[in-house]
Chains A and B, each alone.
Chain A
Amino acid sequence: MEFLNNFVTQTMVYTTVYTLVALGIVIAGRTGIFNVSGEGVMLAAASSGFITAYLTGNWFLGFLIGALTGAAFGLMLAFIHETFKVNQFILGISLVILGGGLSDLIYKIVIGVRLSAPEAPPTPVVRIPVISNIPIISGFFNQDVIVYFMYAATIVAYWFFYKTKIGLETRAIGENPKAADVVGVNVVRRRYLATIIGSALIGVAGAYLPIAITGTYSPDISAGRGFMAIGIAIFASWKPQRAILGGFLFAAIEVISYQLQLISGNIPYQFFLMLPFVSVLIIMMIFRKQVEFPASVGKPYSRE
């Protein structure tokens, strides 16, 4: 029981990272923008967010700057794609490289090399009175505020896309931008908004890594999660409610791989560490028949 409790608690922490990034990709994807820059955005936001939190001693500012960093990348992606019609994947990969370079650069310049790694201020934890005592379920709720933010973001995204007319219109853009355009929906503006907001969520996830999980920034702190989140978005058929399930699944696999490593025995531990990466591929293989894409995702739209 204790083990399960700890497992859930630990998994939800990583679920937050995976889910926020996946949500960011889903939101933009629903307007037709396939955002693969997540890994770079996470790194840039991890760096800028951590530095802010460390220098100001304020966790909230750290996450805010992380979100703004993400938003800036989202703005770049939307702008270059909509204005110059550059291929979304080329753009996304370029931003990954840009984000990665920027993150190490800023950190080197501002913090430099230190004997002991600087520590971030703690993020407040919220304990809900009665639920805190229920075993296992408490694991979902004895968490810091960003985890709750992730829950809220998922619910809001679901409500927006499936329970409002404005969400219906936004989804229409992803299915057939021409159809949305001819009824007067402002395709370009919604794409900008969706990409910026989505990227801001990715930024929050990126900042979460050094501020709340490890306590300090290190190069490659995102460890491929930004790319795995792309897999989650696909496997979730671009639905927010499924993205959180996918996030939980991948987080669970990551946590399990750490545990297995400790009891590895005869199998070299490296193979357990390979588990999350191989699992992404296996999951995508198994579920490929059930996957639906917004029909126009990845393709630019122009009227003429």
Chain B
Amino acid sequence: MNKEIFVELRNVRKVFGEVVALDNVNFSVRKGEIRGLLGENGAGKSTLMNILYGLYKPDKGQIFIEGKEVKIRSPFDSIKLGIGMVHQVSTLVPEFTAVENIMLGTPEDKLTLPIKKESNRIKKMAEDLGFEFPLNVKARELPAGVKQKIEIVRALYRGAKLLILDEPTTSLVEAEFQQLLKSLKMLVKKGVTVIFITHKIREVMDACDSVTVLRRGKVQGTLEREKMSKESLVKLMFMEKEIKVNESALPKVELPEVEKSKEPVCVVKNIEVEASEKTPGLKNVSFEVYGGEIFGIASVSGNGEKELAEAMIKPSILKSGEILINRERVNGLSTLKVFSKGVFYTPEDRIKEGILPDGSIKENVLLGHHAEERFLKRNVFIDWEEVRNVSERVVKDYNVFTPNVEIAIRKLSGGNIQKVIIGRAFVNPIDFLVTHNPTSGLDISTVEFIFEKLVEIRSKGGAILWINEDLDELMILSDRIGVIHKGELKGIFNRDEFDKYKIGLLMIGG
């Protein structure tokens, strides 16, 4: 491996409003290596790379490529300099095919549309890399793993010498990750340098020649492969030394022995949700969730898990089949009626679906409870006094860091917002919690708090349906894991049968 420094970022500082995202960061990568950029959620890894790619402007700092200082004002500049980036969330145009997406922005033939010519070039490049994907299918119909391959080819098509991958395993299962590793090693042989952003220690140790650790916007250190170990990396990643962490940098929380209820709290029988061009829907899904258990649902994003969550609280979307809560059929009921049967929900996208951003914490706690007698006067007027009392209790019980319940909830950190969302679920005692990706994008202490809360609910006899994209997390706390692929429940694993590779294979239809 060449010891020459390829890309260097010097004294980079980036502030968002009042938050210092990057504080005097110095970072350099050598030619031909796979460098890991490791840190927990919010450490600043994506921000740093977005600056390098030209999507963000640094408040201070310089960029050097092969020793020469460069100005990168937009992706146009960075692409010209040979930098390519694959983002965590797909940046393909959903309506366009792979060929159209890859052609986008290339400098030649602007006034014509040479689909055939470019298709041939693209096909050849993909074959060279050992990648396979359909050239003429619209991106929105393709699974996440395939889209990622297209985005890698897109970057290389423009002659990228440095490839940045931002959390590439978000939508990949174990088997696909191994495939990706092979491809990266092949790329390095062809002279490409790779920066691999992740928050999972194990991935760094599998894939990277060296790793730089970021914590709260500051570089904590860079380790060569020989010096990498779980302990040394955990130490660099986290400030809280009290948190016990496993090799995926997740909190180690104990799952105590709890007696399951005799009767299932929730029974799902042969449910079907209509497929559309955006989702496979659900086909003939059946399972049960008992009190005192956490039933995890593992799936690659876009396989019907969203529809499952929705069906639980909005059974009107069911085409056939039935859902029973405490032996009672809830099929025709509205969301609020389902809630009244002892159910509540925390959605996947906390900002988009979970909160009223400009609303006060009070107004947010009321959401979902706004039809309950407890909060209404004469069925028409809202009892804001009661809402305030309840909100203050939620803030206290869930350690939400806020001066009062009147301020707009968007001013809270992501972790505190999630705590309010979970606290809201327990304003009234419930039997069944449906929660979807509750820990996504959160810092380690909040993740630990949420894990502990889930265990607490379970210990009190509550039933939890936990739909989660991250299999590592599911394996820590679930009693059983069900796998959804293309809308079907492909299998259920008991805790003693948990095997990351096996479950992952099922998740992609193997």
Contacts and interface: CB of A to CB of B under 8 A. Distances in A.
A164 interface: yes
A169 B101 CA distance: 9
Interface stretch (B29-37, B84-92, B126-134, B460-468): B84-92
Given A165-B103, A304-B16, A179 B110 contact: no
B110 A166 contact: yes
B240 interface: no
A206 to B, nearest CB: 31
B268 interface: no
B449 interface: no
Contact of B91 (A162, A167, A182): A182
A186 B49 CA distance: 20
B338 to A, nearest CB: 30
Contacts of B106: 165
A175 interface: yes
Given A178-B91, A184-B75, A169 B105 contact: yes
Contacts of A165: 103, 106, 109-114
A178 B106 CA distance: 16
Interface centre among B79, B92, B105 (most CB of A within 10 A): B105
B458 interface: no
A163 B104 contact: no
A185 interface: yes
A184 B92 contact: no
Given A182-B55, A184-B105, A186-B76, A168 B100 contact: yes
A229 B109 CA distance: 34
B217 to A, nearest CB: 15
A304 B55 CA distance: 8
B166 to A, nearest CB: 11
B104 A172 contact: yes
Contact of B87 (A167, A180, A182, A304): A182
Contacts of A178: 91
A35 B158 CA distance: 34
Interface string A145-176: 00000000000000000111111110010011
Nearest to A294: B95
B79 A163 contact: no
A168 to B, nearest CB: 6
Interface in B56-105: 56, 74-76, 79-80, 85, 87, 91-96, 100-101, 103-105
Contacts of A172: 93, 96, 104
A303 B55 contact: yes
A295 interface: yes
Nearest to B89: A178
Contacts of A185: 76, 104-105
A295 B91 contact: no
A303 B104 contact: no
Given A172-B96, A175-B94, A175-B96, A180 B110 contact: no
B79 to A, nearest CB: 5
B87 A164 contact: no
B218 interface: no
A183 interface: yes
B93 A179 contact: yes
A166 B109 CA distance: 9
A168 B91 CA distance: 16
A180 B104 CA distance: 7
A183 B79 contact: yes
Contacts of B109: 165
B424 interface: no
B113 A163 contact: yes
B154 interface: yes
Contacts of B93: 172, 175-176, 179-180
Nearest to B85: A182
Nearest to B79: A184
B113 A183 contact: no
A176 B53 CA distance: 18
Contacts of B76: 184-186
Given A182-B55, A303-B56, A176 B94 contact: yes
Interface string B336-366: 0000000000000000000000000000000
A304 B109 CA distance: 31
A183 B83 CA distance: 11
Contacts of B55: 181-182, 303
A179 B92 contact: yes
Given A179-B92, A182-B53, 18 more contacts: A163-B112, A163-B113, A165-B106, A165-B111, A165-B113, A168-B96, A172-B93, A176-B94, A179-B104, A180-B93, A181-B55, A181-B74, A184-B74, A184-B75, A184-B80, A185-B104, A185-B105, A295-B95
Interface of B: 16, 53, 55-56, 74-76, 79-80, 85, 87, 91-96, 100-101, 103-106, 109-114, 154, 158
Interface of A: 162-169, 172, 175-176, 178-186, 295, 303-304
Which 8 A/B pairs are nearest by Cβ-Cβ distance? A183-B105, A184-B76, A179-B93, A166-B110, A184-B105, A175-B93, A184-B75, A182-B91
